[in-house]
Amino acid sequence: MSFVRSEDGGVPVLRIRPLEEAGCLALFTLRPLGFAPGPLHTADEVRRTRAALTRAWLPRPAVVVRQVHGTTVLPVGPMPGPDPHAPDPGEWSLLGEADGMVTGRPGLPLAVFCADCAPVYLYDPTRRVVALLHAGWRGTVGGVVERGLEAMGAVAGTRPADVLAAIGPAIGGCCYQVGEDVRARVEARLGEEARRVLDRREGKLYLDLAGTISLLLQRAGVPASRVYGAGLCTACHPDLFWSHRRDGGVTGRMAAVLARRT
C-alpha cells in the first residue's frame, strides 16, 4: 500500500509512503474535515481546520492557489520566514490564480483542494524540488501535468525520468460519467490510448481520470515504476472522502499537501 491511513491531533490523513520515504511530507486529508469554504463549511470553520492540520502535521502554514481548472503552475518565490510573533496556523498564504505550484524550498508546504479532481504530487529527489497540481479532466487534457514537469525543469533542472509521482484519491472510472465533449477532448489528446481510459457501459461513458494522468506522466518521461496511484474512488467511499459528483455539489474539500522535509 502506497497510501496509508494515519491520524494525529484529530486530523485523519492518508500518507503517501513512497514520497515520504524519499524525503517529503505528502498527505491527503480525510472526512469529516473540510479545507475550503463552501456549502458545508464556513470560512471560520475552514480556518480552524487548517490550523489543526498545520499544528498536527506541517512545519508551517501552507501556500495555496485560487484553483480555476487551468494549467498554470506558479513557482513559489522567496517567502517570509516563520513569523516569530506566532503566525496564525490557520492563515494559509494565497499565491495567485493557478492549478499548481512548484518549489525547491524545504519545509514549505504546498496545498491544493479536491473533491473528485485529482491531486498530483511530483518530487524530484535528485534536484530536490516538489510540485503539486490540481487536475480535473479539463486541466489534465489542457496539459497541467506537463506544465508541472516543465516548471520543475525551469526551477531546478528536473529530468522527468528522475521524478516520483503520486496521484491522490479522485473520482474513478466506476463513477465518473462524462459527456461526448469530454470524450472528444480525451481522444484528441490521447489518440489510440484513449480506449484505455474511456469505458462505455449501458450506453453511458465513463472516464478514468487517474489513468489518464498516469498515461500523460509516462508520455512525458516519468517511468511507470515511479508513478503511484491511490486506487481509491472518492465517490465510492463516502466514509473517507467528499465527492462533488456524488454529493451534488453540497460537499466539502479535502486538502492535498506536499513539502520537502529538508
- Could you list the residues that contact Zn ion (CB under 5 A)? 172, 174-175, 233, 235-236
| Smaller CB separation from Zn ion, 215 or 233 | 233
| Smaller CB separation from Zn ion, 10 or 231 | 231
209-219 vs 144-156: helix crossing angle, rounded to 10: 40
The least distance separating Zn ion from the CB of residue 243, rounded to whole angstroms, comes to 9
Question: Can you tell me which residue has the cell 479522485?
Answer: 170
Q: Which residue is nearest to Zn ion (CB)?
A: 233
| Smaller CB separation from Zn ion, 56 or 232 | 232
The least distance separating Zn ion from the CB of residue 66, rounded to whole angstroms, comes to 28
The least distance separating Zn ion from the CB of residue 236, rounded to whole angstroms, comes to 3
The least distance separating Zn ion from the CB of residue 211, rounded to whole angstroms, comes to 13
| Smaller CB separation from Zn ion, 198 or 235 | 235
